[in-house]
A and B are shown apart, each in its own frame.
Chain A
Amino acid sequence: MKLELRFFASLREGLGLSGETITAPAEVKTIADLRDHLVQRGNPWAEVLASGKVIRCALNQVMVSDSTALVEGAEVAFFPPVTGG
């Protein structure tokens, strides 16, 4: 599945990357699967996306949960809890 990844704030800085296009393997079906898949790349991914860290995710610019199913061609963003206002 082709996905457009975006990273913001401390995650963007920790990864040194604001985004990339990937083709995820067939077993990656949900947000949680995608996070695990990226963690398996090793550092800095393992450190920045570690399972204990509170990270928010948006699918096509709508906030979603870990169990949300991915869709072909989606824009998937990872970021820390928001602190504006």
Chain B
Amino acid sequence: MQNDFIRIQEQDFDLTAEVKALRKDDPRVGAIVTFVGTVRDMNDGSQVKGMTLEHYPGMTEKSLEEIIQQARGRWDLYKTLVIHRVGPLLPEDQIVLVAVTSAHRGEAFAACEFIMDYLKTAAPFWKKEETPEGSKWVDARVTDDAAMARWK
């Protein structure tokens, strides 16, 4: 039975439908933690009119599989799901979904946060924002490195 699901796609996702599918026919599940990342209309003091997400096909899937295996090495998880959108997005659009099922909430909360922190520093996605001053690539944040470092 497949337990880890990774999807890179242009189209939007439906949180309710994804959670329903992930927990379906799995009465062991006592906790489902989900994280949804969305597009803000402001970043670094600039208005954001839209953005485009680029990725590295092939490496993206491999790096996400590696991140999930690391999470499984730390916590008892039943199923995991990562959906990351690519292509053009607008403010309020959903970018990423991480969902984890487990017997208990502690493991599910921790694993969801871990997967998100690792994704932010190790998965090859790049954002290019459209602002009133023109388009610009988003710089990586020092706070993302710090968030990842606390899991070492």
Binding site for B on A (CB under 8 A): 6, 8-10, 13, 54, 58, 61-63, 77, 79-85
Question: When chains A and B are docked, how far (Å) is the Cα of A84 from the Cα of B141?
Answer: 11
Contact pick for A83, options B59, B116, B125, CB 8 Å: B125
How many contacting A-B pairs (Cβ < 8 A)?
75
List 10 other contacts, CB 8 Å, given A10-B126, A81-B139: A9-B128, A58-B56, A83-B125, A83-B137, A83-B139, A83-B140, A84-B95, A84-B120, A84-B123, A85-B95
Query: In the complex, are the beta carbons of A58 and B120 less than 8 A apart?
Result: no
- Tell me, yes or no, whether B49 is within 8 Å of chain A by CB: no
Residues of A within 8 A of B63 (CB): 61, 63
Residues of B within 8 A of A81 (CB): 121, 139-140
Residues of B within 8 A of A79 (CB): 56, 124, 126
Question: Is B37 an interface residue when CB atoms closer than 8 A count as contact?
Answer: yes
Check if B53 sits within 8 Å of A84, measured CB to CB. Answer: yes
Determine if A58 and B121 form an interchain contact, defined as CB atoms under 8 angstroms apart: no
**B contact residues around A77 at 8 Å (CB):** 56, 59, 124
Give min CB distance, A53 to chain B, whole Å: 12
Q: Verify B126–A84 contact, CB threshold 8 A.
A: yes
Residues of B in contact, count (CB < 8 Å): 28
Report how far A79 CA is from B63 CA in the complex, Å: 15
Query: Is residue B58 within 8 Å, beta carbon to beta carbon, of the partner chain?
Result: yes
Give me 17 A-to-B residue pairs in the complex whose CB atoms sit less than 8 angstroms apart, sorted by A's number: A8-B54, A9-B128, A54-B140, A61-B56, A62-B62, A63-B63, A77-B59, A79-B124, A81-B121, A81-B139, A82-B120, A82-B126, A83-B127, A84-B53, A84-B124, A85-B119, A85-B123
Within 8 A of A (CB), among B71-91: 84
Complex CA–CA separation, A49 to B96 (angstroms): 30
Q: Which residues of A contact B15 (CB under 8 A)?
A: none
* Mask: chain B, 112-152; 1 = CB below 8 Å from A; 0 = not: 00001001111111111000000001111100000000000
B138 contacts across to A, CB distance below 8 A: 83
Q: Which of B59, B63, B84, B119 has the most CB of A within 10 A?
A: B59
Contact residues of B between 13 and 46, Cβ < 8 Å to A? 37
CA A10 – CA B139 in complex, angstroms? 10
